[in-house]
Structure 1
């Protein structure tokens, strides 16, 4: 017991993830804390902390002494999918390792489109040798980032090092060095007119659900070096209207897309995204959660909470992230 708060068990509630690696890391980081994969009985007062990924609805409501919920994803929409979610603090993941992985993905996809990777792969498949003499420099391209949280700010910094111009859009006004920032409904139009490649790192909330739709694509700039804009979504599948994306590609509103997330995962084998020539597809692999880099910070927060210290990286329930 520390500062009057008794240490309790940790519930590891994961859907679609093998728990073994996470359990091993918990035992390393918190050898004195018992870990369980399920509550004991219909009500389990022994559990004080829950580490979750798409937990079963109603599961956490069975824990009357639950003190903190830790999300295993950068986004927390999977936590809010539970209609019986207890009114306790929710801590989101902020990990330097995860942030770097996401920035690697963003830079990779931006460079791939900028340097005409899809075109050259198609030419290779067709055994076509065509030399492009008019190669654009990074300084000729503007990348617009939707979402200027931890992930968006780091990606912006990496892209600026490469020489790209960077603009950004967020729900509330942000100041990011070297980035022209737009905010709110009034700033969305100017932002969409500002860029050639759009990178989406928004949280999924009721306000952002299917924000990537035909109306948005029609407002995107068509003036740039790449002609029609490129869309890269590494945020959440629920951000995108997938029928609108396919139609926009076929109509030329978008020149290409890179999608790491989808409305339904795993993606249906019958989905037209698999074979569409203008689609680069990755299987929700942009920034995989790494047990060794995520568990230790969570345990440190548990220890700090029991010393009476404030939690950090708390989710704003009203904003949804």
Structure 2
């Protein structure tokens, strides 16, 4: 049984190299119009052509090539009964935590602001905050979000988390459900969005929710661009309610040249690089599920279609 990769615009060279090293006898191929429809049982996907999977009657598993699965679930013609899996990557998780810590410290100490002043030759000290004075709210405390919250807590931040359903943590105060959302927002001087993208979480960072943050709060979005209503964010930045935002993800990527986010003085932009899936560790998980499928064993890291993650 071969593995067939369905993607658009993704460089597969590192992935194919790792597959060759780890399983040299396994056929790993990329989808084309000539791909035989009957022998595709195990697929890997990243931004696949929508509707393509319905053409493969023997398909049993679609493995996302990253931690997110919204790019798979947005396909309105996914065949019924096909398992969907995701990557849970230790390196990706650590990279994300380090990136968010950098952004949080930038907010505390104003490093980005000093870079602007340097270019202006402006010598102007900026008041700063201390770690123990700042409350961080992590929105979305799955495997990735919980690790991020715990690492920020270890550094000394006062950290809370929010999830759609109740979760337990010995070190992090977890708010749950719509009834706890406003209370969670009210204690988030820095709001970190790590939510999965689902119909329930799309546009969740809007005027109503962002207005519940404390005055001068800072927003970090490293989840998906569709979580943020951009015009609402801009309005709250311009009004002075929010002190700034760091955005790593956007509704359209690359971010169009005419988008006003580029030039807003209170917004830091990075090109969707907070963390990247490491093919070396990801391929091990994909091969494990491949072997499990071959031997009719339960798959790991499966996705709930009802929850969307």
Scaled by the length of structure 1, the TM-score of the pair is 0.92
Residue in 2 that maps onto 1:265: 253
Q: Map of 1:200-279 to 2, 5 A cutoff?
A: 200-222=193-215, 228-279=216-267
CA shift for structure 1 position 240: 0.9
1:68 lines up with 2:56 in the alignment = no
| Residue 147 of structure 1: aligned partner | 140
Question: Is contact 2:54-2:78 (8 Å) kept?
Answer: yes
Distance in 2 of aligned mates of 1:162 and 1:319: 32
Q: Is the 8 A contact 1:89 1:314 kept in 2?
A: yes
Question: In structure 2, what is the Cα distance between the partners aligned to 1:191 and 1:101?
Answer: 25
Pick from 83, 88, 108: which aligns with 1:114? Answer: 108
Q: What corresponds to 1:285 in structure 2?
A: 273
Deviation at 1:308, TM superposition (A): 3.1
2:252 partner SS: coil
> Which residue, out of 159, 162, 173, partners 2:155?
162
SS in 1 for 2:43: strand
CA distance in 2, matches of 1:100, 1:29: 24
Assess, with a 3 A threshold, how the Cα gap between structure 1 residues 40 and 16 changes in structure 2: closer, same or farther.
closer
Report how far residue 105 of structure 1 moved: 1.1
Range with bigger deviation, 230-239 or 241-250: 241-250
Between the aligned partners of 1:46 and 1:29, the Cα distance in structure 2 is 22
Contact 2:108 2:128 in 1 (8 A): no
Shift of 1:302: 1.1
> Does structure 2 retain, via aligned residues, the 8 Å contact 1:105–1:286?
yes
Distance, in Å, in 2 between the alignment partners of 1:39 and 1:125 is 50
Q: For residues 133-155 of structure 1, what are the alpha-carbon distances to aligned partners after superposition, in whole Å with 9 as ceiling and x for unaligned? A: x5432110010000001111111
Q: Is the 8 A contact 1:58 1:83 kept in 2?
A: yes
* CA–CA separation in structure 1 for the residues paired with 2:6 and 2:16: 11
Looking at structure 1, the residues matched to 57 and 19 of structure 2 have their Cα atoms a distance apart, in angstroms, of 22
Q: Provide the rounded CA distance (Å) in 1 between the counterparts of 2:253 and 2:192.
A: 20
CA apart distance, 1:42: 7.5
Q: CA deviation at 1:40?
A: 6.3
| Larger displacement relative to structure 2 (161-170 or 121-130) | 121-130
Is residue 2:66 matched to residue 1:78? no
SS in 2 for 1:82: coil
Q: Give yes or no for the alignment of 1:48 onto 2:49.
A: no
CA distance in 2, matches of 1:25, 1:177: 38
1:89-114 deviation line (CA, Å, top 9, x unaligned) = 10011010111111111111111111
CA RMSD of aligned residues (A): 1.5
Write the distance in 1 (CA, Å) between the matches of 2:268 and 2:292. 43
Corresponding residue SS for 1:22 = helix
Per the TM alignment, residue 39 of structure 1 is displaced from its structure 2 partner at its CA by: 5.3
**Contact 1:11/1:39 (<8 A) preserved:** no
Q: Normalising by the residue count of structure 2, what TM-score does the alignment of the two structures yield?
A: 0.95
Paired residues in the alignment total 308
- Alpha-carbon distance in 2 for matches of 1:126, 1:42: 57
Distance 1:212 1:40 in 2: 40
